[in-house]
Amino acid sequence: MKKKLKSSSILALTLSILFSIMSPSSGHTLSLPNQDNPAAESYESSDIYLYVGSPLILSQDKISPLDPENLDVAATVIDNRTLVPLRALSEYFKADVSYNAEQRKAIINYNGKQYIFPIGEKKYIIKDKSSENEVLLDTKTSILNQRTMVPLKVICEDILGRKVSYYNKIIAIGNTEINLKENKKLADSIKQKIGAAVKATSLDQIKAVMSQSDIRLDNIFIAFSEAAELEVSKAAADASVSNSPLSDTANSSSDYSTTNTQVQGIDEADIVKTDGKYIYIAGNNAVRIVSTDSNGTLKESAIIKLPQNKTVAEIYIDENRLVLIGNRYETQNSTIPEQKTKASPAIENEFIATTDIAPDAKLYIPYRYKNYSFVDVYDTSDHQNPKFIKGHEMEGSYQSSRKNSDIVYLVTNSRIYNDIILPYMRDTVVSDKHEALSISDIMLLPDEKSYGYLVISAINISNNEKTQVEAITASGHIMYMNTSSIYLVGNNYNGNSTITKFNIDGMKIGYAGSGNVNGYVLNQFSMDEHNGYFRIATTWNSENNLFILDNSLNICGSVTGLAKGEQIYSVRFMGDKGYIVTYRTIDPLFVFDLSDPKSPKVTGELKIPGFSNYLHPVGDNLILGIGQDTYEIYKKDSTGKEIVVGTRQGGLKLSLFDVSDMGKPTEISNYVLGDSGSYSEALYNHKAVMFDKTNNNVVFDVYITDTSNNWSQGAAVINLDNNNINLKGILEYIQPEVYGNYIPNGRRNLYIGDKIYYIQDGIVSSYDYKTLEKIDTLMLK
């Protein structure tokens, strides 16, 4: 079936490819802080290390956030004085810290004495049982990032009784003085672990890291400049909802399918969602809301129309919240103003760096292109009248997202152009205007040149809480996320994959470290975190590798040089086990024992015709592979003997692997749909597969050809009962008759109760789940 590909989609795809191939290479292996509160542990007998500008702390070779409750806190230098967070550092050494908000005083109780720091004053007071003394300081006690900051040596030496060593931005705190200058190996190791990324403090500092790009796409210039006002306000968004007279009496079922995801409890956006009552279909410039009832009858409840320059890529649904995610672009003749920074000195409330526009500094661009990734949240309590609640935009291209409970995490890659180096963002909770990203929200890799930013935005969809943003001068387009961490991986020019990690805790986002491994990553399933170790599988120069990284993102175990001459086609990690499929002429399934992270090993290998593009656990010791069949091509030689001269791909192949014996994996069942030329989106997109664990069914859209070059399309319904793969039937494909900006593109399957639904572009069909007999069809117009 032919489809029109809009120019905006081409632009977005091109930009996404550019971002992925232009990821700056990082030579650092940095920390992976955990979420434990370090104050709960005793560091009395150990040295600890800080780095100016870094939110991380190193102790006993363990890296943690300096302040787990405030991931932006770092040691900083103001007026030639190094300031550190009073509470975080004191609690490392078991001091008791409190804050008197009414008197604006921070109080430390340690070794029978009380130390009082009045905010904004150049002094502190020492109290014991019999006396009270006042000690003068040469700098004020300030509040930065909502934390009390005091001079380093005062808190560590005068109060806590430790020795402080300082060299090249490295801070060592211990019972004895540490000569960092002479111990270069130690100093380099500390910087490598916690000092390669620092909080930005000025626009000039950011400019020094940024590298200008010469890439141009025809007449398209990627530029960051003062954003034009978005014309879709809350009122306009509400007005864009077109309603039908259908009453809000849709059928409700507690048994319905959800999007196939990688990590339990972490939702992934998709083009189709259901809440058990309604089906939400996204694509192009609209979201269509379709109601169902107990009979399988289909009616459209509402349509949310977007402007022509705003396309929805994916959606989330959570009770009465509908979340739209996508890209909005602008093309216009314009002048690009120069960004300048006004940096105020440290004040009581915060150290602030703001961005102003100099109207007399202009660069004329005859035609330019700007892109924003967006998150729009709607209230669907009344499904006939969805109401716009809040919106967030971040300049750059949408890469990926995840959702944990009420928080959506948006990942955007932004590029710089000319002197406009701060991306613009908009949060309707704060203002309808676009503002430059705050410098305090940016992390820098000072030793690495960058083309732009990797930005994570946290949006609470349940209330009007302000969006939280964290950016770093790096790139990454493949995402893995669990309940506490986000890993973003970019494939670099030099054959390495750069890993950037963020800690997450609700709305809190904090940079947690970076690292790199040899080889390129296939997709999100090539990554996993288990028991504090990060596992990643890569391919480079026709060799395959599996690396295990520790809490500091140092490689602690690996299997390299696997299946030479082949490449990875699919990966799945399951607890202490890992499974990798490689392919060139035959399908080897490798089984890994990962129970000892420092010594991973291959325990078994299975070679069968074909290959699996996707692996999915369907039982404790059963894995379903979805891929393609292969068969050998023969010809007769000069003696008349048949010899193998090549391999040809066949139809869509499903394989059921028994991996109960780690040394001897076996294929216990398989099924092949069609022949060469057969195809499915399931080969590269796991969200295109519907899994029904209760009924042991797997459903996905297929395009099937046979040996006579006849073809057919539909949704294959496959059953896995009794460890056998059987085709129950194929749901009918209907050729669309209507196309347009408000007609979604894409196919999915879902079930609600005893009905199964086939969404194919702008057509929705319902079927009896047991008999697969069609009930109703709705054509969206």
In a domain, 265, yes or no: no
Say whether pLDDT at 777 is over 90. yes
The pLDDT score that the predictor gives to residue 426 is 96
pLDDT in tens, 453-471: 999 999 999 999 999 999 9
CA quadruple 139, 145, 146, 152: dihedral positive or negative? negative
> Which residue has better confidence, 250 or 93?
93
pLDDT in tens, 618-647: 988 999 999 999 877 767 777 878 776 667
What integer best gives the mean pLDDT of the chain?
Answer: 84
Structural tokens at position 558: 């690996």
Do the beta carbons of residue 408 and residue 461 sit within 8 Å? yes
The pLDDT score that the predictor gives to residue 368 is 59
Mean pLDDT of 219-232: 33
Q: Tally helices (H) and strands (E) across the chain.
A: 6, 55
Do the beta carbons of residue 415 and residue 473 sit within 8 Å? no
The pLDDT score that the predictor gives to residue 41 is 39
- pLDDT confidence bin for 282, thresholds 50/70/90: very high
Of 75-79, 339-343, 637-641, the one with minimum mean pLDDT is 339-343
The pLDDT score that the predictor gives to residue 737 is 84
State what percent of residues in the chain have pLDDT above 90.
63
The pLDDT score that the predictor gives to residue 641 is 81
Tell me 85's DSSP state.
E
> Which residue has better confidence, 199 or 237?
199
Domain CATH code at residue 610: 2.130.10.10
Of 103-117, 231-245, 372-386, 762-776, the one with minimum mean pLDDT is 231-245
Mean pLDDT of 744-764: 96
d(CA 491, CA 474): 12
The pLDDT score that the predictor gives to residue 141 is 92
d(CA 201, CA 205): 7
Say whether pLDDT at 37 is over 90. no
The pLDDT score that the predictor gives to residue 589 is 94
- pLDDT confidence bin for 339, thresholds 50/70/90: low
Collect all residues with Cβ–Cβ distance below 8 Å to 64 and sequence separation of at least 6: 33, 34, 36, 38, 56, 57
The pLDDT score that the predictor gives to residue 342 is 41
Say whether pLDDT at 338 is over 90. no
Mean pLDDT of 391-399: 95
Max Cα distance, the chain (Å): 109
pLDDT in tens, 505-544: 999 999 998 888 999 999 999 999 999 999 999 999 889 9
> Which residue has better confidence, 29 or 737?
737
Collect all residues with Cβ–Cβ distance below 8 Å to 350 and sequence separation of at least 6: 143, 144, 145, 146, 440
Give the residue from 593, 615, 643 where a domain finishes: 643
Q: How many residues does the chain have?
A: 781
Domain of 181 in residue numbering reads as: 38-191
pLDDT in tens, 131-149: 899 999 988 999 988 899 9
pTM: 0.84
pLDDT in tens, 537-585: 999 988 999 999 998 888 999 999 999 999 999 999 999 999 999 987 6
Of 363-367, 487-491, 645-649, the one with minimum mean pLDDT is 363-367
The pLDDT score that the predictor gives to residue 370 is 85
Give the residue from 617, 643, 669 where a domain finishes: 643
Domain CATH code at residue 100: 3.30.457.10
Give the angle 403-252-686 at the CA atoms, nearest 5°.
40
- pLDDT confidence bin for 224, thresholds 50/70/90: very low
Say whether pLDDT at 12 is over 90. no
pLDDT in tens, 85-135: 999 889 888 899 999 989 999 999 999 999 999 999 999 999 998 889 999
The pLDDT score that the predictor gives to residue 410 is 98
In a domain, 769, yes or no: no
Say whether pLDDT at 263 is over 90. yes
Of 34-48, 374-388, 678-692, the one with minimum mean pLDDT is 34-48
In a domain, 30, yes or no: no
In a domain, 68, yes or no: yes
Mean pLDDT of 408-413: 97
The pLDDT score that the predictor gives to residue 333 is 52
The pLDDT score that the predictor gives to residue 167 is 92
State what percent of residues in the chain have pLDDT above 70.
83
Q: How does 665-692 read in b/e, with b if 16+ C-beta sit within 10 Å?
A: bebebbbbbbbbebbbbbbebbbbbbbb
In a domain, 375, yes or no: no
Say whether pLDDT at 680 is over 70. yes
Give the angle 288-290-293 at the CA atoms, nearest 5°.
175
In a domain, 518, yes or no: no
Do the beta carbons of residue 681 and residue 747 sit within 8 Å? yes
The pLDDT score that the predictor gives to residue 332 is 57
Q: Which amino acid is at 504?
A: I
pLDDT in tens, 690-705: 999 999 999 999 999 9
- pLDDT confidence bin for 253, thresholds 50/70/90: low
The pLDDT score that the predictor gives to residue 487 is 96
- pLDDT confidence bin for 419, thresholds 50/70/90: low
The pLDDT score that the predictor gives to residue 619 is 86
Q: How does 260-299 read in b/e, with b if 16+ C-beta sit within 10 Å?
A: bebbeebbbbbbbbbbbbbbbbbbbbbbbbbbbbeebebe
Strand order in the sheet with 496-505: 478-481, 485-491, 496-505, 508-518
In a domain, 504, yes or no: no
Chain mean position to CA 112? 48
The pLDDT score that the predictor gives to residue 251 is 56
The pLDDT score that the predictor gives to residue 20 is 39
Structural tokens at position 59: 């102790």
In a domain, 569, yes or no: yes
Give the residue from 148, 163, 191 where a domain finishes: 191
Mean pLDDT of 709-727: 94
Say whether pLDDT at 192 is over 80. yes
Do the beta carbons of residue 485 and residue 501 sit within 8 Å? yes
> Which residue has better confidence, 712 or 230?
712
Say whether pLDDT at 42 is over 50. no
Of 87-96, 316-325, 424-433, the one with minimum mean pLDDT is 87-96
Mean pLDDT of 745-755: 96
The pLDDT score that the predictor gives to residue 252 is 56
Collect all residues with Cβ–Cβ distance below 8 Å to 629 and sequence separation of at least 6: 609, 610, 649, 650, 651, 652, 653, 672
Q: What total of structural domains would you count in the chain? A: 2
